[in-house]
Amino acid sequence: MSKKYLIVKIAAIGDVIMALPMVNEIRKQDKDAEITWVCGRGVKSLLEPFAIDRIITVDEKKLMTGSRLEKISVVINLWRQIAGRRYDVVALGHAARRYKILTLLTRCGEFRFFSHVMGERWPVPGRHHTDEYVRLVKPNNKTPIAAVQFPQVDLPSRLTTLLSGGRPIAALAPGGAKNLLADDDVRRWPIENYANLAKQLIKKGYGVVITGANADKWVEGYFADIPVINLIGKTNLLELIGVFQHVDVIITHDSGPMHLAGMTGTKLITIFGPTNPWEKVPRRENVTTAWGYDKNACCPCYDGKYYAKCDEKICMEKITVEYILGEI
Question: How many angstroms separate the CA atoms of 43 and 53, rounded?
Answer: 16
| pLDDT for residue 180 is more than 70 | no
Three-class HEC string of 185-248: HHHCCCHHHHHHHHHHHHHCCCEEEEEECHHHHHHHHHHCCCCCEEEECCCCHHHHHHHHHHCC
Question: How many angstroms separate the CA atoms of 148 and 16, rounded?
Answer: 11
Question: How many angstroms separate the CA atoms of 93 and 252, rounded?
Answer: 25
pLDDT at 181: 67
Taking a C-beta distance cutoff of 8 angstroms, is the pair 293, 299 a contact?
A: yes
| pLDDT classification of 117: cutoffs 50, 70, 90 | confident
Taking a C-beta distance cutoff of 8 angstroms, is the pair 110, 86 a contact?
A: no
pLDDT at 305: 80
- The pLDDT tens digits of the residues spanning 187-200 come to 999 999 999 999 99
Question: How many angstroms separate the CA atoms of 58 and 51, rounded?
Answer: 20
By three-state DSSP, how is residue 58 classified? Answer: strand
Percentage of the chain modeled with pLDDT above 70 = 99
The stretch 219-238 carries a mean pLDDT of 97
Taking a C-beta distance cutoff of 8 angstroms, is the pair 174, 194 a contact?
A: yes
- The pLDDT tens digits of the residues spanning 257-316 come to 999 999 999 999 999 999 999 999 999 999 999 998 888 889 998 888 888 888 888 999
Nearest 5°: the CA angle 31, 37, 39 is 150
- For the chain, domains (ranges, CATH) are 4-137 (3.40.50.2000), 157-327 (3.40.50.2000)
pLDDT at 238: 98
| pLDDT classification of 215: cutoffs 50, 70, 90 | very high
Question: Residues for the chain: how many in total?
Answer: 328
- 323 beta partners: none
> Among 110-114, 221-225, 304-308, which is the least confidently predicted range?
304-308
| pLDDT for residue 322 is more than 70 | yes
Taking a C-beta distance cutoff of 8 angstroms, is the pair 244, 264 a contact?
A: yes
Taking a C-beta distance cutoff of 8 angstroms, is the pair 36, 58 a contact?
A: no
The residues near 221 (Cβ < 8 Å, ≥ 6 apart) are: none
- The pLDDT tens digits of the residues spanning 37-52 come to 999 999 999 999 999 9
pLDDT at 201: 98
Torsion angle of C-alpha atoms 245, 247, 252, 257, degrees rounded to 10: -30
Average pLDDT, the chain: 95
| pLDDT for residue 179 is more than 80 | no
- The pLDDT tens digits of the residues spanning 148-174 come to 999 999 999 999 999 998 899 999 999
